[in-house]
Amino acid sequence: MFKRQLVTLACVVGILVCGACGLMFEPSPTPPPMTRFVGIHTVRVEVTNQTATHQLDTESLRDALIREINAQKGRIRLEAVSAGDADCVLSLNVLDEDGREVWTDPKQDSALWQFQAKFDVKLTGKKGQILWSVPWPSSHQFQFRDIQKKNITPGWGDPGLRKQLSFMWASALVNVLIYQ
């Protein structure tokens, strides 16, 4: 009888030590309040390119930003638009853009490129006050496949590249803007 009580006591202590009662575990952290958008319901997105090369497609990047912001509707109450009246303006200015080959693999008929851009990002209120401003460097890799089959020259000229880069940069920026 005494052995059973000791085994039962050891099991109860083991369960408590392992956290079955919930005392050992921290509650999951709540995301920080989004104070950047207090009182803001609409944001107009503007994208400009100040570089000499003008490789980035500003319209594609603007549209990708609008889609990414509007995709967050369940989490935030913010609507992005491309024109018209809005509570604030998100302006993204491309200051520098660069694309370079990292490696080429002739056996697999592919090449990996590194694309980098430096942006100046500003969130401006209706009365012209700067709500948020940050220089934002970003970099993404893009792999070109079946180069000889498709008869393409890897780099900025690839048709799928600009859309893919716009999506990746928009997604990363919206993450920084809303959740950090």
Tens digits of per-residue pLDDT, 21-75?
554 545 544 444 455 667 789 999 999 999 998 888 899 999 999 999 999 887 7
**Is 152 inside any structural domain?**
no
Residue 54: inside a domain, yes or no? yes
Residue 164 near residue 137, CB atoms below 8 Å: no
pTM, 2 dp = 0.73
We report the CATH number of the domain holding residue 51 as: 3.30.160
Strand partners, 144: 111
- Domain hosting 74: range is 34-96+115-137+159-179
**Bridge-based pairing state of the strands 88-105 and 42-49:** parallel
Euclidean distance between CA atoms 52 and 34, whole angstroms: 36
**Count: domains in the chain:** 1
| CA pseudo-torsion sign 140, 141, 146, 150 | positive
- Residue 83 located in a structural domain: yes
Scan for tokens 């998100």, then name that residue: 90
What lies within 8 Å, CB to CB, of 41 at 6+ separation is 77, 78, 79, 87
User: What pLDDT is recorded for position 31?
Assistant: 46
Judge whether 147 lies within some domain: no
Residue 163 within a domain? yes
User: Can you tell me the distance from the alpha carbon of 41 to that of 63, in angstroms, rounded to the nearest whole number?
Assistant: 18
- Do the domain assignments include residue 168? yes
* 10 found inside a domain: no
pLDDT of 74-133, one tens digit each? Answer: 778 889 999 999 999 999 999 999 998 888 888 888 888 899 999 999 999 989 999 899
- Tell me if 43 is assigned to some domain: yes
